[in-house]
Amino acid sequence: MHDIEPYYNWRNLYTVEDDPQSLLYGKNYDEFYFTNRVYNYYIHPQWDEFGSDTLYHKIIFADYDMGFAIIEMIGEWNDCLHNDIMFFKQNVLNHLMDNGIFKFAIIGENVLNFHGGDEDYYEEWYESVIEEGGWILYLNLYQHVYEEMINTHLHHYVNILPHLMNFEWRKHDPPNLFNTFDALILKKNFIETE
């Protein structure tokens, strides 16, 4: 796991350490000193912690004018034992929403397992986002992670669309992804209200 880096081809467009509105503004990353782990496996030092013992994130793109962020995740998402969504919401998402970001694309291709728990924080996140005309979209989950999220009813709060589980997002730039996802959610919501 130590060689899995967050996506870096957009670093010319955005980095958290250069974003004055980021909680990680000014952070210096050591490329060779590995401290964070998922169980007994060290992970690459570019991943950022937020209070979970088994789950880490990286905001790989944020645009405050568009109100849009793309966040990559790695590790085990465990709401049952560790209440990871609570830490994620309190220590990452709330700050982004306080700064006008209400449209989220969460990339889960490095989330190895998901264990559902209480839905309250998902519901809070959903309500905050919907109030501002935003959305939450998960993409590229492993099949078993996707199924567990559906079984724990997260699809009531998060857009977990089956056709986005193998989406080749790296072929697009962030504004194109924003337009694609925004149109997709608009179309989905229109179909649901008919």
CATH of the domain at 119: 3.30.750.24
Residue 55 covered by a domain: no
Residue 78 covered by a domain: yes
Q: What is the pTM of this model?
A: 0.95
Res. 38 pLDDT band, cuts 50 70 90: confident
Residue 39 covered by a domain: no
Residue 7 covered by a domain: no
Sheet holding 159-160, edge to edge: 55-63, 68-78, 103-115, 135-139, 159-160
185, 136 in Cβ contact below 8 A? no
Question: For the residues 2-6, what does the mean pLDDT come to?
Answer: 84
pLDDT of the residue at 107: 98
Residue 19 covered by a domain: no
Res. 60 pLDDT band, cuts 50 70 90: very high
Res. 192 pLDDT band, cuts 50 70 90: low
Q: Where in the sequence is the domain holding 157, given as residue range(s)?
A: 66-193
pLDDT of the residue at 86: 97
The per-residue pLDDT for range 65-99, each reduced to its tens digit, is 999 999 999 999 999 998 999 999 999 999 999 99
The per-residue pLDDT for range 157-180, each reduced to its tens digit, is 999 999 999 999 999 999 999 999
Is residue 193 predicted with pLDDT exceeding 80? no
Res. 1 pLDDT band, cuts 50 70 90: low
Is residue 181 predicted with pLDDT exceeding 90? yes
- When divided into structural domains, the chain yields a total of 1
Query: Mean pLDDT, the chain, as a whole number?
Result: 94
How far is residue 179's CA from residue 190's CA, in Å, rounded to a whole number?
Answer: 16
